[in-house]
Structure 1
Amino acid sequence: MAPLSFDRNFDVPPGKVMTLSPLVRRVIADNPGPFTFKGTASFIVGRGEVAIIDPGPDSGAHLAALLAAVQRESVSHILVTHSHLDHSPLAHRLQRTTGAAIVGYGSVSPSELSDTGLPRLDASIDRDFAPDIKLAHGQLIAGKGWSLEGVFTPGHMSNHMSYALKEEKTLFCGDHVMAWATSVIAPPDGNMGEYLASLRLLLQREDELYHPAHGPPSTEPKSLVRAYLVHRKMREEAILARLRAGDRTIEEIVKANYADIDPRLHIAAGLSTLAHIEHLIERGLVRQEPQGASITHYFATQFAT
């Protein structure tokens, strides 16, 4: 099995319309950063009558770029992969201009936003997101010459929906699988068990190309998904090794296992570590002991061999 390697060769300016295939165009938003790479990719699907996937952050410049890209065309649907602030907020302004229906899996319930005791990511949740059309797994949205199938891929967020363009065997996979970096799984809404199940679901499909919402496409998607699964297994084993070595807190584990990453990503690393630990607890491989209002100690169990 090949190790997970990243492709960061993606020098694409924001606002420029790029034709990727007969049915697909891409416009990058002006929101580069440690979590968004060069910016959020909005995809335009179809010709004449089109759909826009992931309208992006609430940016006037990006709204203008998208409207310029589809001038003299009609926008029938605005599809959102998930309701992080770098993906969904522009949907409302875009809808007011185009009249298109907003499509997604659904909103995130307040119970899924309870406190974890860890800092939250800067790219947080769009609590105002509410789709006009709630798409179920396997349901189709179609226009002239194109059809998009909902592929439910929870894990990165509980409402994460990917979209398969059947005519080109292409999957718009949001933040679920990316070639430039791993996806952050951040509790309480992110769930590692669901994320791994969603990865395994993709291995059962026959998509030939992945277009993620950040970074370059993947032309060997199944190889990438398998590498993701191996990577997550290695992260899990590294966490168990630190617990056996005497580490008891997420802070201690992150300090040991993520010593070489950008400090700006330490919060994300801590949340992903928590997601792995929650999955290990579900399987009886780790137990937890609260030590106060905001500190929990973790221990590997006898079953974690």
Structure 2
Amino acid sequence: MSKIPPKPWPTGLADPVEPLVMRVLAPNPSPYTFTGTQTYVVGDPTGPDCAVIDPGPDEAPHIEAILAAVGTRTVTAIMCTHTHRDHSPAAAPLAEKTGAPIVGCAPLVLKVDGPRSDEAFDTTYEPDRVLEDGEQMRGTGWTLTAVATPGHTSNHLCFALEESGSLFTGDHVMGWSTSVVIPPDGDMGDYMASLEKLQARGDKVYHSAHGAAITKPQQLVRGMIGHRRQRENQILRLMGERARIAADFIPDMYKGLDKRLIGAAEMSVTAHLLDLEKRGLAKQDGTLWSVN
């Protein structure tokens, strides 16, 4: 599998990652996006049609790079895993240029005033068709199946390429970092259930929106589930010592954390606390959290 090379990163180039898949890296590197958002063009390069997954930011050079990767093929679908603004804003201008429908996740716009460690939501996203879990888009020699994976966002979808056993995982499972879960839309219980759903599948490789291809997906997902359970156990132990506000968990759970990331860590802890409360393992009294 093709690897993300050292800087300079290959923005604007069509990088073949498997016979039916090309990857185009957007020029939007950031602490949220790693080297940038990876758009995937799915279909035989010599065939008549293709699909575009996660068209990325609305930046003219990136849209032109996608069109160059498409070549003479007809774009039959522009597919979005979710509506963070590093994923879906290019859908509308790309649809205007190609005539392709926008399909995939449901629209979602949520204003969050607290600290984030991901991108804000795209207010321009208007799909022509929302895919339900198990629905498919087909072209010449390719079939993409929607796999509902709420958690990172409530509208998150992955897309399975049936012909190769690959899964396009968006931000649910990434090749460079764990996914963030930020309430109120992000839900830790849903995220864990979605991880377990992926673990039960037999996908051979994951192509995420950020980072290198994941060639041992089951091993990675198992580790991610274990990491989240470890965090959960830490929270239960600390609550057992005394009632705490969410911020009080951070010094014990995140040793040496960059001060700029404290707010985001607090939101992650809050996601765990809300999930524990739903399961009857924690209770909240005003701003204080304790074991139920």
TM-score of the two chains, using structure 2 as the length reference = 0.92
Query: Which residue number in structure 2 is paired with residue 75 of structure 1?
Result: 75
C-alpha displacement at 1:127, in angstroms?
A: 2.7
**Does the CA-based 8 Å contact 1:57-1:89 persist in structure 2?**
yes
CA distance change for structure 1 residues 97 and 263 in 2, over 3 Å: closer, same or farther? Answer: farther
Instruction: Tell me which residue corresponds to 2:170.
Output: 174
Contact 1:34–1:265 at 8 Å: present in 2 too?
Answer: no
Determine which of 147, 154, 161 is the counterpart of 1:158. Answer: 154
Cα 1:46/1:259, change in 2 over 3 Å:
same
**1:247 positional shift:** 5.9
**Stretches of 4+ aligned residues off by more than 6 angstroms:** none
How far did 1:68 drift?
1.9
Instruction: Tell me whether 1:222 sits opposite 2:218 in the alignment.
Output: yes
Match of 1:40 in 2: 37
In 1, Cα distance between equivalents of 2:81 and 2:198:
15
| 2:290 counterpart residue number | 299
Q: Distance in 1 between matches of 2:133 and 2:149?
A: 9
Structure 1 residues 264, 68: closer, same or farther in 2, change over 3 A? Answer: farther
Partners of 2:234 and 2:5 in 1: how far apart? Answer: 31
Q: Structure 1 residues 9, 261: CA separation in 2 closer, same or farther (over 3 Å shift)? A: farther
In the TM superposition, what are the counterparts of 1:2-21 in structure 2 within 5 Å? 10-11=5-6, 12-21=9-18
Partners of 1:104 and 1:260 in 2: how far apart?
Answer: 40
Alignment RMSD? 1.8
Percent identity over the alignment is: 45
Q: Distance in 2 between matches of 1:297 and 1:71?
A: 57
Higher mean alpha-carbon deviation, 260-269 vs 271-280, is at 260-269
The within-5 A match list for 1:227-246 is 227-246=223-242
Q: What is the CA-CA distance between 1:86 and the residue it aligns to?
A: 0.7
Contact 1:250 1:274 in 2 (8 A): yes
Q: How many residues align?
A: 285
Cα drift, residue 276 of structure 1: 0.6
1:30 pairs with 2:21: no
Residue-by-residue CA offset, 1:140-189 (whole Å, 9 max, x unaligned): 10011100000000000000000000000000011111131100001111
Q: Which moved more, 1:72-81 or 1:8-17?
A: 8-17
For structure 1, which segment, 212-221 or 262-271, has the greater mean C-alpha deviation from structure 2 after superposition? 262-271
Native 8 Å contact 1:185 1:275 kept in 2: yes
**Structure 1 contact 34–264 (Cα < 8 Å) conserved:** no
- Mapped to 1, the partners of 2:106 and 2:140 lie a distance apart of 25
TM-score by length of 1: 0.88
Higher RCO, Cα 8 Å, sep 6+:
1
- Give me the whole-angstrom Cα distance separating, in 1, the residues matched to 2:115 and 2:214: 32
| CA distance in 2: counterparts of 1:272 and 1:214, whole angstroms | 20
Amino acid at match of 2:289: Y
For residues 1-305 of structure 1, what are the structure 2 equivalents within 5 Å? 10-11=5-6, 12-47=9-44, 48-108=48-108, 113=110, 118-121=114-117, 123-246=119-242, 248-290=244-286, 296-301=287-292
SS in 1 for 2:251: helix
Unaligned runs of 5+ in 1: 1-7, 291-295
Structure 2 residue ranges without an equivalent (≥5): none
CA pair 281-265 structure 1, distance change in 2 beyond 3 A: same
Separation in 2, partners of 1:120, 1:60: 27
Secondary structure of the structure 1 residue equivalent to 2:146: strand
1:240 deviation in Å? 1.9
